[in-house]
Amino acid sequence: MFFFILVVGFVIAATYYRHQLEAAYEEAGRRAAPIRSAILPFPQTYKEILLKYFPYYNRLNSSQQHAFEQKLLTFILSKKFIPRQFDAVTDEMKVMIGACAVQLTFGLPRVYLQHFSKILIYPTDYYSSLTKRFHKGEVNPAFGAIVLSWKSFVDGYIYPTDSVNLGLHEMAHALRLENIIHNDEYDFFDDALVEKFDAYAYQLCHLPQYADESFLRAYACANEHEFFAVAVENFFERPAEFKHALPELYETLTKLLRQDPLILNP
Ligand SMILES: [Zn+2]
């Protein structure tokens, strides 16, 4: 009996330490992501996914594509992708979600949304017991997590000009939060520009006729975070219309994100 308890105890302890060790390796791997991505070749399978499904990447010249690949690999290696209600995260999921983050932050070289180290993926829209509602995605700063419904994420890229893109919307929330979280990436936005952007948002949302004539969907006026996220979706999905309808807001966004989707490849 004593021997049996000893063996069971040993197995439990060994399993516990193996998990600890694996977690430590994973964490070390994520921390070394910038070095690993500089050494490792960009996988051909990743490139094929980008060529097939990611128009933004296809519009870049070859040196920009190289920079995009480098940033994407660092992003993928530095995040923990967690499947929820299904078995395993595929390369396609990692590449597409990572590419979405790189698209948004391509003009901000040192920004990788560092605080958000976990990407939780549900196969479809998921039920939240907290809000008692179905969700497509959310950003949870307390858990350092970005949560996405894969189906809704993919819809964002299947319909590239309808101004609805869940991935860009949630990444935009994460980006705005990252700017005010104290870490290596802290304070990359020019404060005056953020203030200018929010002042435009306030003005637009308080125009009496705005509800009828708005270029951005009404949800943008929920608060300044939603306004920023919805503006980002429009910035990438219908930049010409955005620039025409709200030129000053568009220009402020080009300065904040340090890129212009209308002239990606100058
Ligand atoms: Zn939102």
| Burial environment of residue 209 by CB neighbours within 10 A (0 to 12, 13 to 18, 19 or more) | exposed
SS3 119: strand
Once rounded to an integer, what is the mean pLDDT over residues 109-124? 96
Rounded to whole angstroms, the maximal C-alpha distance in the chain is: 81
Using the predicted structure, report yes or no on whether residue 8 has a pLDDT greater than 70: no
Q: How far is the CA of 71 from the centre of ligand 1 (A)?
A: 25
- Find the 118 Cα to ligand 1 centroid distance in Å: 18
pLDDT of residue 28: 76
Q: Tell me, what's the pLDDT at 19?
A: 73
10 pLDDT band, cuts 50/70/90, is low
Ligand 1 center to 173 CA (angstroms): 7
197, 140 in Cβ contact below 8 A? no
Burial of 3 (C-beta count, 10 Å sphere; 0-12/13-18/19+): exposed
Q: Does the pLDDT at position 100 exceed 70?
A: yes
Is the per-residue pLDDT at 127 higher than 60?
Answer: yes
Please enumerate in sequence order all residues whose Cβ is within 8 A of that of 29, keeping only pairs 6 or more positions apart, or say none. Answer: 36, 77
Using pLDDT thresholds of 50, 70 and 90, give the confidence band for residue 7: low
**Residue burial 21-43, b: 16+ Cβ < 10 Å; e: rest:** eeeeeeeeeeeebeeebeeeebe
Mean pLDDT throughout 225-251? 97
201 C-alpha to center of ligand 1: Å? 15
| Of 99, 142, 126, 111, nearest in space to 256 by CA | 111
For residue 213, give both structure tokens.
Answer: 């004539």
Find the mean pLDDT for residues 125-153: 93
Q: What is the mean pLDDT of residues 26-51?
A: 86
Superfamily of domain 32-181: Glucose-regulated metallo-peptidase M90, N-terminal domain (1.10.472.150)
* Average pLDDT over every residue of 151-168: 96
Q: Are 176 and 115 in contact (CB under 8 A)?
A: no
213 C-alpha to ligand 1 centroid (Å): 21
pLDDT of residue 70: 96
- Is the pLDDT confidence value at 11 over 90? no
* CA 11 to ligand 1 centroid distance, Å: 46
Domain boundaries, the chain: 32-181, 189-266
The reported pLDDT for the residue numbered 167 is 98
Q: What is the DSSP string of 48-107?
A: HHHHHH-HHHHTS-HHHHHHHHHHHHHHHHHSEEEESSSS---HHHHHHHHHHHHHHHTT
Q: How far is the CA of 37 from the centre of ligand 1 (A)?
A: 31
Tens of pLDDT, residue by residue over 197-233, are 999 999 999 887 655 568 999 899 999 999 999 999 9
Mean pLDDT of the chain, nearest integer: 91
Distance 192 CA to ligand 1 centre (A): 23
CB neighbours of residue 79 within 10 Å: 23
**Per-residue pLDDT reduced to its tens digit, 139-149:** 999 999 999 99
Distance 46 CA to ligand 1 centre (A): 28
* Reduced DSSP (H G I as helix, E B as strand, rest coil) percent helix, strand, coil of the chain, to 5: 65, 10, 30
Ligand 1 center from residue 156 Cα (angstroms): 14
Q: Which fold has domain 189-266?
A: Collagenase (Catalytic Domain) (3.40.390)
Spatial CA neighbour of 141 closest among 104, 181, 101: 181
pLDDT tens-digit profile of 76-95? 999 999 999 999 999 999 99
Instruction: Find the 66 Cα to ligand 1 centroid distance in Å.
Output: 31
Query: 58: CA distance to ligand 1 center in Å?
Result: 28
pLDDT of res. 34: 81
CA of 169 relative to ligand 1 center, distance in Å: 6
